[in-house]
Structure 1
Amino acid sequence: MHSRNLHQGDYDFKQLIEAEPKLAPLVVNKGGKQTIDFSNNAAVVLLNRALLKHHYQISYWHLPQGHLCPPIPGRVDYIHYLADILKRANDNTIAKHPTQITLLDIGTGASVIYPLLAHRVYGWQVIASDIAKTSLNNAQTIIDKNQLSGAIQLRHQVNSNTCFNNVIKPGELIDMTICNPPFFDSLAQARQANQRKWQKLAKHTAASLPADNFNFGGKHNELHTSGGELKFIRRMVNESKYYGQQVMWFTTLVSNKDNVSQIKRALKKVNPQVVEVVKMAQGHKISRFVAWSFMSTEQQRAWCEQRNR
């Protein structure tokens, strides 16, 4: 994990249960260590709630049944690596006024997790978009109950075929974008992958597994989109060229490492000034995000100097 990630090593379940007592009956002892059953969606949600309360002072966090439950350590890792890119753009110094930094989250979901973490850890302002009004309604409740309406602004994306259009306003300046795109091409593909995950967890056989019983949840628009992750990111890349002077850095998670080379080819066609692939590790899991900017080093420095005034 990133060196600034608070979630190094094992969870301290004593502290987490103090933060969220409902977690207590779901904690089990396995191999001499306390843990939870990660195939149990309810346990995963309560673990997240405890982590958010204990480490990030998020007093209220509710996820409707069936919505995607994001693993906190991996999500905050992404935020920390974004902060490193921002620091480097700012002549390797921390921004003087973090509240002047604006992050755009594409597809925030009902959990609104990236905005919560980005604001609590770094004090950034966040714009968060989603195509699902039900997700935005839940996200707004979380924002309101934690008194964060001044820091996190939600916007409804009315067109599922666009990423930045209808969201970024004319003349609006955004320091960085963040995205965890839908991975699968179809619900059937998502189900097959989920069955393999359950088998690996040794909880069910493929035959007995309920088709939509995702341990981390996930509504259809959160899990799959036509063309899968690759088509979604290509669309994002193509749109980004129109906002290259309004956004300093664009970024997106890439779940399938085999897609990276094709994404690089798509980026080459829009001709950004710089492209980076940043690898992240959470335990044995390796993930990555692609970042690109249409601004030169000098332009990024000038951008940051303006922010620091």
Structure 2
Amino acid sequence: MSTPHRNTRRQAKPIRKQLHPRNRHNQGYDFPILAKSYPPLARHVKENAHGNLSIEFADPLAVKALNAAILEHDYSITGWDIPEGALCPPIPGRVDYIHYIAELLGVDAPTAKHRHSQPGITLLDIGTGASGIYPLLACQIYGWHCVGSDINAQSLENVAAIIGLNPTLKDRFTLRMQQDKHRIFDGIIQAGEWFDVSVCNPPFHASQDEALKSSQLKLGNLARNRGAATSASTTLNFGGLGAELWCNGGENLFLKKLIKESQMFAAQCRWFTSLVSKIDNVKPARKLIHKLGATDIREIEMKQGNKVTRILAWTFI
């Protein structure tokens, strides 16, 4: 399959997404270079209504191919893949989280010469999912040591396969199974262990039905904006690993559990952090954190286009 080369000049035009200043994706995607680095992406790259090269973002296979290309070309991660139905994370937003966490920890921006200059930093990812995306990026951008936890064995098996294809990750990224679905840190953080930071992208829906409706609405909007049809197979292609998208009580209840349990491990983690997608959940979460005796609480806004996501960070130290 040939690699598309048209409109490379227009493709290189900066796309102002308001990403973190350290984020290498502030200039948008160079699709010809990405497709050359990862040939399976080429068949998904087409000219859009504005005359620029792009992909159909309502097509999960196209998005997965784009992710694999970005991870291959920009972060030297080979063979990234996820099972059918797993959550396919948009890379630029995940990269933003890691950069904001680095700032929170006082870590300098990485350079080509000192790309892995902070190997002493340890990160715990709660619910790493089938993509393992946050530890993968933290390892490759900053050289941190990471632990990814999950309640889903299939997810962990998939991440283990990715690690196995990338020898540089084997000593820096380890996986742990959470045996009790009602626990978060308990059973994962071991006695005498220390983490500089924990990260989490909570399941934000309260039920599978709610997650399905949200997915259909989102993909339908994407298709309409691009003048394309959205098939049932596309909108339903998300639910195989439900824990990534929904849990009883949704994001609000999950945050309460996360915050309460963090107090139990207050002396073993410098900063606890979590994404909060629904603004209505921020105030009660902050109130609970304060009630439990945190010494510092931070609310960090991440912007990508018109979308605003928040990182809530707290420490008891």
Per the alignment, residue 284 of structure 1 pairs with: 306
Q: How does 1:203-222 map to 2 (within 5 A)?
A: 203-204=228-229, 209=232, 213-214=236-237, 219-222=241-244
Paired with 1:56 and 1:88, the residues of 2 have a C-alpha distance of: 19
Per the alignment, residue 235 of structure 1 pairs with: 257
- Give the letter for the 2:97 counterpart: Y
TM-score, length basis structure 1: 0.89
CA deviations 1:160-196 (Å, max 9, x no partner) are: 1111000000110100000001010001111111121
Which runs of structure 1 show a deviation greater than 4 angstroms over 4 or more consecutive aligned residues? none
- Give the letter for the 1:18 counterpart: K
TM-score, length basis structure 2: 0.87
Greater RCO (Cα-Cα under 8 Å, separation 6 or more): 1
Inter-CA distance 103–291: structure 2 relative to 1 (3 Å threshold): same
Inter-CA distance 98–248: structure 2 relative to 1 (3 Å threshold): same
CA deviations 1:103-127 (Å, max 9, x no partner) are: 0000001111111100100000001
- Give the letter for the 1:99 counterpart: P
Identity of aligned residues (%): 43
- Give the letter for the 2:89 counterpart: P
Match of 2:103 among 57, 72, 84: 84
Residue 101 (structure 1) shift: 0.8
Residue 199 (structure 1) shift: 2.5
Aligned-partner SS, 2:255: helix
Q: How does 1:36-75 map to 2 (within 5 A)?
A: 36-75=55-94
Paired with 2:220 and 2:32, the residues of 1 have a C-alpha distance of: 30
Per the alignment, residue 299 of structure 1 pairs with: none
Aligned-partner SS, 1:87: coil
Paired with 2:82 and 2:132, the residues of 1 have a C-alpha distance of: 10
Per the alignment, residue 154 of structure 1 pairs with: 175
Give unmatched runs, 5+ long, in structure 1.
Answer: 296-309
Residue 209 (structure 1) shift: 3.7
Give unmatched runs, 5+ long, in structure 2.
Answer: 1-18, 109-113
Pair 1:15-2:37 in alignment: no
Moved more, 6-15 or 161-170: 6-15
Aligned-partner SS, 1:290: strand
Q: How does 1:58-137 map to 2 (within 5 A)?
A: 58-87=77-106, 98-137=118-157
Moved more, 126-135 or 57-66: 57-66
Paired with 2:235 and 2:29, the residues of 1 have a C-alpha distance of: 28
Aligned-partner SS, 2:197: strand
Pair 1:226-2:248 in alignment: yes
- Give the letter for the 2:258 counterpart: M
Q: Say whether the 8 Å CA contact 1:183–1:229 is kept in structure 2.
A: yes
Paired with 1:165 and 1:41, the residues of 2 have a C-alpha distance of: 34
Q: Say whether the 8 Å CA contact 1:275–1:293 is kept in structure 2.
A: yes
**CA RMSD of the aligned region, Å?**
2.0
Residue 9 (structure 1) shift: 2.6
Residue 280 (structure 1) shift: 0.5
Moved more, 177-186 or 57-66: 57-66
Q: How does 1:178-197 map to 2 (within 5 A)?
A: 178-197=199-218
Residue 88 (structure 1) shift: 7.3
Aligned residues: 288
Pair 1:165-2:183 in alignment: no
Paired with 2:305 and 2:144, the residues of 1 have a C-alpha distance of: 28
Paired with 1:212 and 1:280, the residues of 2 have a C-alpha distance of: 27
CA deviations 1:195-227 (Å, max 9, x no partner) are: 21122122457xx7459624x676211110000
